[in-house]
Chains A and B, each alone.
Chain A
Amino acid sequence: MAQVTQKKGRGRKIVGILALLFVLLGLYFGLIKAPPDAYQGEVQRIMYLHIPSILTAYLSFFIVFVGSCLFLWKREKRDDILASSAAEIGVLFTGLTIIEGSIWGKPTWGVWWTWDARLTLTAILCLIFVGYLMLRSLIEDETRGAVCSAVLGIIGFLDIPLIHMSVYWWRTLHQPPSILRPDKTPWENIHPSMLIALAINFVAFILLYFYLLSLRFRLGEMKEEVKTSKLYGGAS
Chain B
Amino acid sequence: MELLRQTFWLLWKDLLLELRRRESILAMFFFGTLLLFVFHFAFEIPAERAAEMAPGLLWLAFIFTGTLGLTQLFQAERENHCLEALLLGPMDRAGLYLAKVSFNLFLMLLVELTVFPLFWVLFNLAFWELLPSLFLVALLGTIGFCVLGTLFSAVTLKARARELLLPLILFPLMIPVILATVRGMEIVFRTGQFEEALPWLRLLLGFDVIFLTAGFLVFEWVIEA
Residues of B within 8 A of A147 (CB): 221-222, 225
Residues of A within 8 A of B165 (CB): 131, 134-135, 138
Separation of A165 and B151 alpha carbons in the complex (Å): 23
| Pairwise interchain contact A148-B179, C-beta atoms closer than 8 A | no
A128: Cβ under 8 A from any B Cβ: yes
Residues of B within 8 A of A159 (CB): 173, 176
Comparing B38-46, B72-80, B129-137, B204-212, the segment that makes contact with chain A is B204-212
B4: Cβ under 8 A from any A Cβ: no
Known: A147-B225, A151-B151, A154-B214. Contact between A167 and B169, CB under 8 A? no
| Pairwise interchain contact A152-B169, C-beta atoms closer than 8 A | yes
| Pairwise interchain contact B159-A135, C-beta atoms closer than 8 A | yes
Partner among B159, B162, B203, B221 whose Cβ is within 8 Å of the Cβ of A151: B221
Known: A135-B155, A151-B151, A162-B206. Contact between A127 and B172, CB under 8 A? yes
Closest to A164 in B: B176
| Pairwise interchain contact A155-B179, C-beta atoms closer than 8 A | no
Contact with A along B88-125 (1 / 0, CB 8 A): 00000000000000000000000000000000000000
| Pairwise interchain contact B155-A152, C-beta atoms closer than 8 A | yes
| Pairwise interchain contact B218-A151, C-beta atoms closer than 8 A | yes
For residue B141, give the distance in angstroms from its CB to the closest CB of chain A: 12
A170: Cβ under 8 A from any B Cβ: yes
Known: A147-B221, A165-B203. Contact between A170 and B211, CB under 8 A? no
Partner among A140, A154, A158, A167 whose Cβ is within 8 Å of the Cβ of B160: A140
Residues of A within 8 A of B158 (CB): 139-141, 144
Closest to B202 in A: A165
Residues of A within 8 A of B173 (CB): 128, 155-156, 159
Separation of A127 and B174 alpha carbons in the complex (Å): 12
Closest to A159 in B: B173
Known: A135-B159, A140-B160, A169-B199. Contact between A72 and B221, CB under 8 A? yes
Residues of B within 8 A of A46 (CB): none
Closest to B182 in A: A170
Separation of A141 and B221 alpha carbons in the complex (Å): 14
19 CB-based A-B contacts, threshold 8 Å: A132-B169, A135-B156, A138-B162, A138-B165, A140-B160, A144-B158, A148-B155, A148-B222, A148-B225, A151-B218, A151-B222, A155-B214, A158-B210, A165-B203, A166-B179, A169-B179, A169-B199, A169-B200, A170-B183
Residues of chain A touching chain B, judged by Cβ–Cβ distance below 8 Å, are 72, 124, 127-128, 130-132, 134-135, 138-141, 143-144, 147-148, 151-152, 154-156, 158-159, 162-163, 165-167, 169-170
6 smallest CB-CB distances across A and B, nearest first, come from A147-B225, A166-B176, A131-B169, A127-B172, A162-B176, A144-B225
Other than A130-B168, A138-B161, A141-B158, give 6 A-B pairs with Cβ distance below 8 A: A127-B172, A139-B160, A143-B225, A151-B222, A162-B176, A169-B179
